[in-house]
Structure 1
Amino acid sequence: MMPSLFLPHGSPMIAIEDTDYTRFLRKLGESLHPKAIVLFTAHWESAVMQISSRDDEFETIYDFGGFPPALYEVTYPAKGSTAIAKQLQERFHVQAIESELDTKRGLDHGTWTLLTHLFPNADVPVVQVSVHPFLPPEEQIRIGEALKGLGEEDILVIGSGVTVHNLRLLNWGQKTPEDWAVQFDDWLLEQLDTGNIANLIQYKQLAPYAQQAVPRAEHFVPFFIALGAGNESEPKVLFRDYDLGTLSYLVLQF
């Protein structure tokens, strides 16, 4: 039985760093034995949902610039699964959610920076899925709900994003978090603890510092998708930390 996870990918540097977070990811991966991974990445945006559909190895995409050469030497040669991609498309079709199969795109850093720690042998098939950042939160949850039950088939659903993600407000070298970033995450956890999904859907109006934390929604919508895909058990915080003052590493299990 696989949970649904929300995992922050933060800086691409996590792929080559040895930190509390990357060590956590490795231990988490050791505890999971999925037959496949379905991952919604904030770095693949499309108006119509795209589902990677291939059985051969993915190309590793370096969709960033200005980082050390060692980061561009990392590869993650996982294979895909056309069978599971088709299964996802059928589930979305039943819920009247439009989707298309993509046979060409490689794995972006919202995917491989996490998976290189979770499953370093790249031996678990991956189906990467795009996000539409301009859909309302209730629709993002509905996308996740279309995937309920995949965990019972040992398919791991991951939403890869960040709760507090504002590149303009990063404080380079700062290790202690800004109070406003902590307050935003605290508010999210309070709503999850009380099961107040209605408040979560209205986070833009109700959450403290919502505009600072989520100036653009592409990194936040994977949270709602993972929430929708989760089991009926109570959400759990598996890890929490901050970097550069405002970048949240809040890991949630649904």
Structure 2
Amino acid sequence: MSTIKSPRLPTYFISHGGGPWPWMKAEMGDTYARLEAALADMPRQIGRKPRAILMVSAHWERPRFTVQANPHPSMVYDYGGFPAHTYQVRYDAPGDPALAQRVQALIEAAGLPAGIDAERGYDHGMFSPMKAIYPDADVPVIQLSLRQGLDPAEHLALGRALAPLRDEDVLIVASGLSYHNLRAFGSQAAAPSRAFDDWLGQTLAQGDQAARAQGLIGWESAPAARIAHPREEHLIPLMVAVGAAEHEAAHRVYYENGFMGGLTVSSYRFGDAPGTQ
């Protein structure tokens, strides 16, 4: 009996928002309403529930690429100054140690350094957006660290190494933000965030995929680059999503002009999605 193969999954670069925002609606009102709607729409776009998610979070860096292999990850409350109840929130998705081994093997086969962490829990770069994407926590999730040094070319290569997972029903989600400067929010960030976001959109829209990659590698020369990203850990996950869908078009799936009093921010899907056709 022949088996009908599901279409390969797209990849995503998403904003994960600030801290534990899904659990703070009483305090924050509709601040995150548009982001939440965009995240909640991802299951419709991909058209089916994936067997697992590989999440690359801006909030985990290691000397080598490190894969989370905890079968029942705990919570890492990697934020400060939030209400007491947000240090008790839970997102109890299962891990997937077998998938972690598969991810490590793919990375090492590409000549990149990779390790396993059997203790690591979920940080808010994972559990905050996942609360909106799959609120029932019923899809296994493993996290993959960035590599210290934050070399964009190396993280593009990481994405290329991970691309086979898309044909194995694993959704690759890169979690960061297109603008991340905690010292320049509000109206003072309006112009630089818009300038950088415009550049990012133009770069990702290029039909020449080699030129797109080179533009991302040279991101520091973009308008307002170091205002938008004084440190680039929230941008570098994008490289993984692009690398894993290197020859596929970018589709902006979230855009907000005026977020948090002035920011222009965007999220992207790379590749086609059955639910959008």
- Both proteins in one fold, TM over 0.5: yes
**Are residues 1:183 and 2:195 paired?**
yes
Instruction: Give the CA deviation at 1:135.
Output: 3.5
Retained in 1: the 8 A contact 2:100–2:116?
yes
* Aligned residue pair count: 249
**Are residues 1:152 and 2:167 paired?**
yes
Quickly say closer, same or farther: Cα 1:185–1:223, change in 2 above 3 A. same
**Are residues 1:24 and 2:38 paired?**
yes
Alignment of 1:109-124 (within 5 A): 109-124=124-139
Query: Using the alignment, how far apart are the partners of 1:165 and 1:62 within structure 2?
Result: 19
Retained in 1: the 8 A contact 2:156–2:239?
yes
1:253 pairs, out of 269, 272, 277, with 269
Query: Using the alignment, how far apart are the partners of 1:104 and 1:139 within structure 2?
Result: 25
Quickly say closer, same or farther: Cα 1:42–1:203, change in 2 above 3 A. same
Retained in 2: the 8 A contact 1:9–1:160?
yes
Quickly say closer, same or farther: Cα 1:63–1:135, change in 2 above 3 A. closer
In structure 2, the residue corresponding to 1:62 is in which secondary structure? coil
**Structure 2 unaligned residues grouped into runs of 5+:** 1-7, 271-277
**Are residues 1:93 and 2:100 paired?**
no
Retained in 2: the 8 A contact 1:39–1:157?
yes
* Percent identity (aligned): 32
Query: Using the alignment, how far apart are the partners of 1:200 and 1:177 within structure 2?
Result: 22
Query: Using the alignment, how far apart are the partners of 2:215 and 2:145 within structure 1?
Result: 25
In structure 2, the residue corresponding to 1:185 is in which secondary structure? helix
1:201 pairs, out of 193, 217, 228, with 217
**Are residues 1:5 and 2:12 paired?**
yes
- What is the aligned partner in structure 1 of residue 274 from structure 2? none
In structure 2, the residue corresponding to 1:186 is in which secondary structure? helix
2:229 pairs, out of 178, 198, 214, with 214
Q: What code does the residue aligned with 1:82 have?
A: P
Which digits, 9 at most, give the CA deviation of each residue in 1:26-84, with x for residues without a partner? 222344411000011111111111100132x2111111111123322321011111111
In structure 2, the residue corresponding to 1:106 is in which secondary structure? coil
1:69 pairs, out of 68, 78, 84, with 84
Retained in 2: the 8 A contact 1:177–1:244?
no
Which digits, 9 at most, give the CA deviation of each residue in 1:166-188, with x for residues without a partner? 001023xx6x9602201101101
Query: Using the alignment, how far apart are the partners of 1:60 and 1:13 within structure 2?
Result: 12
Instruction: Give the CA deviation at 1:143.
Output: 0.6
**Structure 1 unaligned residues grouped into runs of 5+:** none
Query: Using the alignment, how far apart are the partners of 2:82 and 2:264 within structure 1?
Result: 20
**Are residues 1:169 and 2:184 paired?**
yes
Alignment RMSD (CA, Å): 1.8
Retained in 2: the 8 A contact 1:137–1:224?
yes
- What is the aligned partner in structure 2 of residue 42 from structure 1? 58
TM-score by length of 1: 0.92
Retained in 2: the 8 A contact 1:166–1:247?
no
TM-score by length of 2: 0.84
Quickly say closer, same or farther: Cα 1:153–1:75, change in 2 above 3 A. same
Query: Using the alignment, how far apart are the partners of 1:204 and 1:85 within structure 2?
Result: 32
Retained in 1: the 8 A contact 2:110–2:161?
yes
Quickly say closer, same or farther: Cα 1:165–1:154, change in 2 above 3 A. same
- What is the aligned partner in structure 2 of residue 14 from structure 1? 21
2:73 pairs, out of 50, 58, 61, with 58
Instruction: Give the CA deviation at 1:252.
Output: 0.5
Query: Using the alignment, how far apart are the partners of 2:50 and 2:163 within structure 1?
Result: 15
Q: What code does the residue aligned with 1:115 have?
A: M
In structure 2, the residue corresponding to 1:80 is in which secondary structure? coil
Retained in 1: the 8 A contact 2:193–2:265?
no
Instruction: Give the CA deviation at 1:86.
Output: 0.6
Instruction: Give the CA deviation at 1:245.
Output: 4.0
- What is the aligned partner in structure 2 of residue 127 from structure 1? 142
Q: What code does the residue aligned with 2:74 have?
A: E
